Structure 1
């Protein structure tokens, strides 16, 4: 028979850490990689589930490459003036609802020099942000910023790219979006930033938000970043991230389905009962960044973790 004392001790952790969720202003997602199956950008914003949406991806840039958008079947010829990718109305629809729309960059992206980084920043400014160009691939709407999703390691000059982009906030034409600010975000593979490509960029302190990919896109060398059922280890990792990463807000990078996780997928009920009650206590907690709108539709992940 279980004594009343033992029963109280068993319940103590649950009483100390009641289940917790996130609100829609704490959820970020990616859109663009699943064509018609994930709906339009406007329809993603109309769900009311997300605070930021990253358009994924600009896949080619730097080292003399012709920049190229890969938005699967959403549009064709996105690098040309004949693009069928004009999303200005959708982007403005999202922004009027208070949703930030960012361009995610990642793919084939080696930068060859500091000048190359500067040239890429000029291209991004003129073609997606507050500058001017006759060949704006998404139309004349102004995006809110750039989301770095650089997976390869030991690539130089991304700190320079962040600095050049950030400098546009100090120009007379800094009204880069409906908010008047150019935001910088980054998705960083766990563990914590060091001498890696994104580590050097993040350590500039210029990023408004950084998401830590704690359970997907991780290699066998980064198992300390997976949630393995040990909340103590996860809390230690979280405290390390929030202490060492000089960004405005830190997000947990999560797959919305086990089908897109190499390992370490966190079920929604576990996230709410064991992890969010701890991490939401931090002033640095920004929310969760979910991959992706398509998979979120399939599993209803954010519906399950919402308050």
Structure 2
């Protein structure tokens, strides 16, 4: 009897835990590709911590430039060496993880000179990374789930056009093209604020770091909470993520200790119907800190 009671109690406790955690657990999005020391893509996906992996970056495109990816020490795109990632990408997708191509980034020569230029870039992205066809696909025959806009330079023009063209390709090709973006937390974002107004973006992971006016500081959630309300109220995206550095070394400011995130920040923002989870920069820092493992049951 005592053993049966113990087993029953354990079973009930497990069910309660699943109900508490499993029904309201969000996703974690991670950036991978900017450090050769962050492990392989399959290793990252095998952790079970991530719902999205953003391959960073395609930093050269637009205005007639030949587009070129840069995945640090992971592969050499100039020798077509990144096609080896095809099976890695598929293995992640087989686990239910959406794999995105991040365009832009903090360095690189990218901008769109016109609506026509935006259309040409969209055509390139569709044929080389998404559901189209090309003889020179950088990741081979792997079909990525969508495009992540990390626009931090160039100009703020024609990103809305690019979003419309990409969305249109997805509809005509019968393959959903997810559109995501990583704007800075000062609202509205100086670079992609206009594009986000299109309502075409599925997920927006806002960078709540390196911006003291709208990020968390020790014991003070006010700035972050106010900015969060602006983003979730005025941006017509399907879902919003809280973007954070995965360790104190990952950004100049804005890191939130696990205890503060779980006890103060998440309880203040998770009531929003737009809330979907956490974005982390980056896999390299997350692997070092174990941040995603520490927070995943609270997200």
**What residue is the counterpart of 1:99 in the other structure?**
97
User: Structure 2: how far apart are the matches of 1:91 and 1:253?
Assistant: 23
List alignment gaps of at least 5 residues for structure 1. Answer: 1-19, 176-180
1:289 to 263, 279, 299: 279
State whether residues 214 and 223 of structure 2, in contact with CA within 8 Å, keep that contact through their aligned partners in structure 1.
Answer: no
The 10-residue stretch of structure 1 (257-266 or 197-206) with the greater mean CA deviation from structure 2 = 257-266
**What residue is the counterpart of 1:87 in the other structure?**
85
State whether residues 63 and 112 of structure 2, in contact with CA within 8 Å, keep that contact through their aligned partners in structure 1.
Answer: yes
Q: What SS does the corresponding residue of 1:210 show, helix, strand or coil?
A: strand
State whether residues 189 and 214 of structure 1, in contact with CA within 8 Å, keep that contact through their aligned partners in structure 2.
Answer: yes
2:233 to 230, 236, 243: 243
Q: 1:110 to 1:22 in 2, by over 3 A?
A: farther
**What residue is the counterpart of 1:170 in the other structure?**
171
State whether residues 117 and 157 of structure 1, in contact with CA within 8 Å, keep that contact through their aligned partners in structure 2.
Answer: yes
Distance apart, 1:23 and its partner CA = 7.7
Distance apart, 1:157 and its partner CA = 0.7
Large movers: runs of 4+ above 4 Å: 20-25
TM-score (norm 2): 0.87
User: Structure 1: how far apart are the matches of 2:139 and 2:264?
Assistant: 41
State whether residues 98 and 145 of structure 2, in contact with CA within 8 Å, keep that contact through their aligned partners in structure 1.
Answer: yes
Deviations 1:130-159 (A, max 9, x none): 000000001111000000000127431111
1:224 to 213, 221, 234: 213
Q: What SS does the corresponding residue of 1:149 show, helix, strand or coil?
A: strand
The 10-residue stretch of structure 1 (223-232 or 51-60) with the greater mean CA deviation from structure 2 = 223-232
**What residue is the counterpart of 2:196 in the other structure?**
202
Q: 1:209 to 1:154 in 2, by over 3 A?
A: same
Distance apart, 1:25 and its partner CA = 5.1
Q: What SS does the corresponding residue of 1:55 show, helix, strand or coil?
A: strand
Distance apart, 1:22 and its partner CA = 11
Q: 1:289 to 1:52 in 2, by over 3 A?
A: same
Distance apart, 1:249 and its partner CA = 0.4
Aligned residues: 273
Distance apart, 1:69 and its partner CA = 0.7
TM-score (norm 1): 0.84
State whether residues 144 and 183 of structure 1, in contact with CA within 8 Å, keep that contact through their aligned partners in structure 2.
Answer: yes
Q: 1:62 to 1:79 in 2, by over 3 A?
A: farther
User: Structure 2: how far apart are the matches of 1:98 and 1:306?
Assistant: 16
Q: 1:65 to 1:23 in 2, by over 3 A?
A: farther
Q: 1:272 to 1:157 in 2, by over 3 A?
A: same
